[in-house]
Amino acid sequence: MNTLRYDFRSDTVTRPSPGMRAAMAAAEVGDDVYGDDPTVRQLEQRMAMLLGKEAALFVPSGTMSNLLALMSHCGRGDEFIAGQNAHCYMFEAGGAAVLGSIQPQPIAHQPDGTMALHDIAAAIKADDMHFARTRVIALENTFGGRVLPLAYIDEVAELARERELGLHLDGARAFNACVALGIEISEFAAPFDTVSICLSKGLGTPVGSVLVGAGTLIEKARRDRKMLGGGMRQAGILAAAGLYALEHNVERLAEDHRRAKQLSEGLASFADLSVPMPDTNIVFVKADAELEKAMTQFLGERGIAVGGQYGQQRWVTHLDVDDEAVDGALAGVREFFGG
């Protein structure tokens, strides 16, 4: 088995730093199901304040956070609108349909990752007994590492208000977007009724997400969290990692973005690779499918792990990827091409 030197598969592979581990070890805890874990309460209050929302709920995963949001907006037989490649539609095992009895209505993405407003409007169902009732529009930002324009978000929010629909944000990497845009996350989150924030990606915690939003929606989500098995006991040990990340790991996301650009520029220098410039910390590389497969295997044999398949690689920078890792990875690619 080859020793893994540099791991670019995802920003979910990060490991807690010594400082984060110390904060976790020192955390004051209680039973969160009873509502008496002070560190969990502190994290929830902190996130609600940062995003300018009424309440927040700490949950084990982003998948559960998105599901709880959809279940809060929708009842059995209702419908949510999301992009064809949105995480909450494509990559969460159909949980909204299987566990929430919520019908998804997927919409094709435009080349920039948005969904056309007229497509969204056309998908909203009339109040007719033959149709599932459309209840919420779900957006994702960043989407594939791209930052969707704020003006576009405002247009979707206006449409949602006009049609009396909820608006949810899968903001798993919302802090990446805010750092790239140079804005506060409260401004970023303002148009949404619910926002899911992942702590275990770029922010570097070992586990956990936070669902933030209107008080009535979060109250329902708290009940549903218990039903889904997400009620944790002395969860302050995990929440402490989130508090540490908010203090130490947000501004440094700019370093991940810088390294992603450095990586993309290096990869783009090879004629056989097509590499768009990244907005944040995710670099996509397109190549002939056989070449991509051979390159992925070649790098893996040298301890350099990347994600992707079918002619596209995904490289993700994160707090465990430093300048040495980027230089080492590019050296591996040069070696693959015989340089």
Compute the Cα dihedral for 17, 20, 26, 28 and give only its sign.
negative
Number of structural domains, the chain? 2
The answer to the question of residue 239 being in a domain is: yes
pTM given for the model = 0.96
Verify that 94 and 226 share a domain, yes or no: yes
Verify that 192 and 63 share a domain, yes or no: yes
Residue 75 gets which letter from DSSP? -
From first to last of its 339 residues, the chain has per-residue pLDDT tens of: 468 999 999 999 999 999 999 999 999 999 999 999 999 999 999 999 999 999 999 999 999 999 999 999 999 999 999 999 999 999 999 999 999 999 999 999 999 999 999 999 999 999 899 999 999 999 999 999 999 999 999 999 999 999 999 999 999 999 999 999 999 999 999 999 999 999 999 999 999 999 999 999 999 999 999 999 999 999 999 999 999 999 999 999 999 999 999 999 999 999 999 999 999 999 999 999 999 999 999 999 999 999 987 789 999 999 999 999 999 999 999 999 997
| Cis upstream peptide for 142 (omega within 30°) | yes
Helices (H), the chain: 18-25, 38-51, 62-73, 87-90, 95-100, 117-123, 150-162, 174-181, 185-189, 215-227, 236-248, 253-268, 289-301, 323-336
Out of 248, 267, 284, a domain closes at 248
Domain carrying residue 94: 31-248
Verify that 265 and 170 share a domain, yes or no: no
- Distance of alpha carbon 139 from alpha carbon 275, whole angstroms: 25
Judged by DSSP in three states, 4 sits in coil
Verify that 103 and 242 share a domain, yes or no: yes
CATH number of 299's domain: 3.90.1150.10
What number of helices (H) and strands (E) belong to the chain? 14, 12
CATH number of 187's domain: 3.40.640.10
Out of 216, 248, 280, a domain closes at 248
b/e burial code for range 240-250 (CB count within 10 A of at least 16 → b): bbbbbbbebbb
